[in-house]
Structure 1
Amino acid sequence: MSNVLEVTDLYKSLGNKEIIKGISFSIKEGEILGFLGRNGAGKTTTIKMLVGLISPDKGSVIISGHDITKETEKALSCVGAVVENPELYSYLTGRQNLEQIARFYKGITKEDIEEIGNTVGLSGRLDEKVKKYSLGMKQRLGLAEALLSKPKLLILDEPTNGLDPTGIIEFRKLLKKQAKENNIAIFVSSHILSEIEQLCDRVAFIDGGVIKSFETLNGTPSGKNAKAENFENVIIMTKEKDKCTKALKEISFIIDFKLADESNGVCTFEAKAKPDSVPDITSSLAENKIRIEQIYKKQQNLEARYIELVDGGEKNNVESH
């Protein structure tokens, strides 16, 4: 699948502060990329450049082959966005809100408006005044506005703010369906770790205007700014400490290892191993006649990785949005 969004070597200063410092990333058709960072990391500034509200000092933003600074209208015609809270007319109905948006695009029919209302779960509620809508319904209407032009790229800034757990789950399902069925590339900026983890295919960690790493949900780094390591953490528990230590030194799938714990006669080794190598490590240990109590791949959740990359880094260089 081709890239819908390509961001290359992007820089932006506001006043005398350099906010964005050479970030690069891309999003393919049907992919959901999470943009994760603390408040002040540069998320909002990046989004403003993606939707043409401000211009980069250096670098490029290419949307469906169009440079946003040189072909602004063509680039933005491929974009739907909900930045912060959806802009809605509370004194109008949901349908009337969508009709206002439709005026900016050619060829959007009454049937299209009805269809998008059904898509976001507002069937039967479009003719109610927006002031009577719940927060979740308003978020759905905002998404409907963003989807009305059938964009190739959807940009969302904190899309689940204020939603209750049920609303969050429903909104997440809706976004995944749009990505999968309509091949929409989705960029989601948030600071909610759990939501990003459950929604996105990949995550970009940004701190101080710099992307620290790109990672898939299983923790494997990828992309231009990713770390060079490509390994998984494997836990090996055995009562045969010396034999296991010797064997681990010889197994080619093991990059590095350490004795993490020793209690009640059981030694716990933590190894950095090549991806998907647990079956091979198990076979190698068996060939060495080492009795294994347990062996498994240790999954590092997004919270742990965030703390390692962001909270574990420099904290005195937080840039303003």
Structure 2
Amino acid sequence: MANELSINQASSTLQITSPAGASVAVRSAKEVEAMVLMAKRFPRDEVTAESKIIKACKRERLAQTATYEYPRGGTKVTGPSIRLAEVLAQNWGNIDFGWTELARDKNVDGTETSHCEAWAWDIESNTRRSIRFDVPLVRDTKRGSYALTEERDKYEMCANQAARRMRACLLNVLPGDIIEEALEECNHTLAKSEIPLETRRDNAIKSFAKIGVTQQMLEKYLGCKSSAWSPNDMYRLTKVLNSIHDGMTTPGEHFSELSAKPIAGEQQGEILKKYGAEKVEKALKLGGYGTLNDITTDTLEPFTAILDSQEE
């Protein structure tokens, strides 16, 4: 048939019946073939690539975003951020990486789920790592969850989820010693920063204030007043901020003051006694909650406002 095309790839055959699909498949196959040929024709010079990576890590702006830190099981977990992984891949050369949305399904409740894949491929060694994952296109808020309707919001949700997977794929195909060397150079860059320590302290306080973290919370986290913060303390705060911005953690995981806790059973009983089960159930639906167990210390006040509005 004129509209059918068979493509043999890696001993498997893909049957495509759509003309548009056939065109895309042919173009993709040609692009892959071209990348392989270019990688063979221009193989990486590892000495030069390593030198370029070290030079990039001497840039303070990169060094500030190179690592993350978050608490797990009483210890601190740290490692290279997605920003550093991208720079390593770009300078190492002949590495293809990214993410894509494979499909999108509509759930029974009307919400959508995006099926995505992140990958990293060292074209020279033919080492490839990929991770497939599902992204519910729903945004969780303190007052409940709601489905995303704007395509831009859906894309940003998938992109945020994909960043961590893409980082993991890149770190699997990049040489471990190169990654460690890059991290060490970033540490050296931050240690000899030309930005005055007082300016770095002020910048940190302002940056954390944008995500709801106060100066007092930072001082409690580091165990001393801001005037006593050392260069190492600033490095720790930078890693925490990177972890939050990369979507690996939330502010509440680092700062207990921002961690919402479910209201106690006694409080639930008082609410039921004061407003009655019928009004409570109606308020839960209006606020987008399931049961009283979904009400936290952060959402108690707005939920009470919904109950009080029914009294008027």
Is the TM-score greater than 0.5?
no
- From the two aligned structures, give the one with the greater strand fraction: 1
More helix by share: 2
Higher relative contact order (CA 8 A, sep 6+): 1
TM class, shorter-length: under 0.3
> What TM-score does the superposition give when structure 1 sets the normalisation length?
0.25
Larger radius of gyration: 2
